[in-house]
Structures are given as C-alpha cells and as structure tokens.
Amino acid sequence: MYQGEYQLIGSELSFFTRKLEAQLRYQQVPWRYLYKTEERKAELEARAGTHFIPLLQTPDKWLLQDTIAIGPMLSERFNERAVIPTTPLQRACCFILEDAFNHWLGRVCVHSRWCYPDNVDWVGIRFGANLILGRSIDTPFSEAELKQLAPIGPMMFEGFGKQVCEVNGVGPEQGDAVRGDFNNMLAALGDHLSLHRFLLGDRPCLADFALAGASKAHFITDPEPLSWLEEHREMLTRYTNQFFDGQPLEKGEWLDGDTLPDTLTGLLGYFEGSYFKAATNNIAAGLAGEKYYEYDCGFGPTKARTQKRLNQARLHVKDELNRIGANDNAEIQTYFAGRDILEYYLD
C-alpha cells in the first residue's frame, strides 16, 4: 500500500464520521480532517457518487464510503493494531455487535438531536462551524458568528431532521419509548463497562468504534441526550473520551482462548429484545414489498419505514459468519443457544 496521510471527510457531529475517527486514532493511522464544507460539497459528491459521509481518501487516492467496508480494510492494512479478532467466537461477536450498534443507535441519535428545539439550535451552530467556517466545533464563536449561524439548525430540521425522525418512527410522540429503550441499553452497558474497558475485553474491536462514534457525535456532546445519561454519564464519557483525548491508546488484548466477558450476555440480551426484533420485522416487510413495518420492544408498537440497508448489512455479517463456519462451530452454537441472533443472520 502507498505510504502517506489519510483524509477523513465529514462532520464532527456525524455518528459515522466519529466512528471512523475512533478507528483511525486507535490504529494510529496517519490522518487529518477535511470538513465537508458547502464549498467542497459538489466536487466531493461527484467524485464519491454519494452525498453520504464520511468519506476516506487514502494515500493511493481511493475515495471510500461506508464504514462497514472501510473498517476491515484498515484493520488489514494496519494489522499491528488489528481490530477484528481472528478466533471464531470473538470474531462473530465483533461483527454482530457492530451491526447492532450501527443500525440501532441511529434512532436515538436522530430523535434526541431533532425532536427538541433547544438542541436543534445548539447543534445548528456547531454544524455551521464545519460546513460554513471550515473549522472545528471546539473553536469558540464570536457574537457575529453566532448570529450568522443561528438559522442553520431550524433549516436542517425542516430539510432533514423532521423527515428522518418520521421515517425511523422516532418522532416527538415516541420520546418516552426512545428514552426508555436507551436507558435499558445504558444499564446493560454500565454493567459490562464497570468490569471491562471495551466490548470484548482490553482491546477495542469494530463494534467499539460504532458505540464510541455515536457517543462522541451525539450522546456526550448534544445537550439533550447528555441530560438523559444521569448516573451513566461518567461511565459513557470515560469510555468515549479514551478514543478522542489525543493520547495513544494502549494496544491491549482480547481475552485468551476465544472467550468473551460474562457481562457481554446482558448486552446481547438487550439487543435480542430490541434491534433484532425490529430488524427481523423490517426485513420481512421489505422483502414482501411493504413500505412500512411495526415492532414492539416493550414500549408499545412503533411504525417505521422499511430500509433495504438492514438486509444488506445482515448479509454482510452472514458472509463473515459463514467464513468462520459458525453453523458447525460448537463454541459459537453453544454461546448463542437459546437466542434468535444466529438464526437472524444464517436462516
């Protein structure tokens, strides 16, 4: 591969930009930010063929999109700090948890950001720092800049935020359900992170970057979700900031003998009753040609738009599970026995 610097193109308030940033930082990849400003927007989208962020420009001039594909590529290129385990059970959990965090946390991210007017105003100014001023959200604003950027939040809400909440079934009327489910995740996560530094032990994997990315871009940054954390605030802040505080992370190791932390079962149980329920219904409805589907994770029925991407992500994980022979692996079968998770991917 070519030696040189990678460019991370995106926004500091973007879940998946921050997800990729966390991986670049942990793997000690030489990189720098290139904010996707209004000035650069047309050229970047023409080159990439998409309006989505993040983009990653490699030293060999590839312009890549989709962290699901970028993550394994970087893990292989910088394999001294690989972020995908080689042992079957740990590898299976790495991809399963990445999928769950990638696609379930987004509901909380968009609801908590766009359904609360004060939060909309706050993030709009910070989006403006990247988009208009081409600088970090951490740089203080002048009074003139605050006035200049004030309209951005309401404009983004009308042009994007309101619709994305409706599509995902997390509009203002779903506030109690979103927050209740989020609290369930925080409880399971708190039990786990009280004993382990990362999801699979003392070394981060792809799934950690998804959790850290959502947390850095939203949960410990936006005022609204930050106010929800309560007793979990210190836990999630500590976990997240270790990726972003500018200090190199120790390499660490996953547990010996292809074992997993006992506390991980609580987190998998949470996802079994939330993400996998919703995703199963989503995919079934989509394959039947239906535009909407319903699910209930214990807070009443929720109606949302079907998304083809969930099945594409499922098939990606299915391919990884087939590579390691999950159907014939006794440890994997035993670990997931009594859950519907493997069946979700392999059936």
Q: Per-residue pLDDT tens for 179-231?
A: 999 999 999 999 999 999 999 999 999 999 999 999 999 999 999 999 999 99
For the domain spanning 6-81, the CATH number is: 3.40.30.10
Query: What residues does each domain of the chain span?
Result: 6-81, 88-115+170-346
Q: Is 264 helix (H, G, I), strand (E, B) or coil?
A: helix
| Alpha carbon distance 155, 119 (integer Å) | 13
Task: State residue 51's pLDDT score.
Answer: 80
Location of structure tokens 């081409």: 134
Task: State residue 1's pLDDT score.
Answer: 58
Provide the Cα torsion 166, 230, 125, 112; round to 10°.
0
| Alpha carbon distance 291, 304 (integer Å) | 9
Of 72, 278, 277, the residue nearest 168 (C-alpha): 278
| Alpha carbon distance 273, 132 (integer Å) | 41
pTM for the full model?
0.95
Location of structure tokens 């309209």: 151
Q: Is 175 helix (H, G, I), strand (E, B) or coil?
A: helix
Task: State residue 326's pLDDT score.
Answer: 97
Task: State residue 48's pLDDT score.
Answer: 80
Flag residues of the chain having pLDDT under 70.
Answer: 1-2
Task: State residue 188's pLDDT score.
Answer: 97
Distances 308 to 14, 104, 280, 294 between C-alpha atoms, Å: 21, 15, 12, 15
| Alpha carbon distance 137, 139 (integer Å) | 6
DSSP conformation class of 291:
S
Task: State residue 163's pLDDT score.
Answer: 96
Task: State residue 61's pLDDT score.
Answer: 87
Alpha-helical (H) ranges within the chain are 15-26, 38-48, 67-77, 88-114, 117-131, 143-149, 152-156, 162-167, 175-193, 206-214, 223-228, 233-244, 264-272, 275-287, 308-323, 330-335, 341-346
Both structure tokens of 204: 């981060």
Q: Which residues of 247-258 are buried (b: 16+ CB within 10 A; e: fewer)?
A: eebeeeebbeeb
Counting every residue written for the chain, the total comes to 347
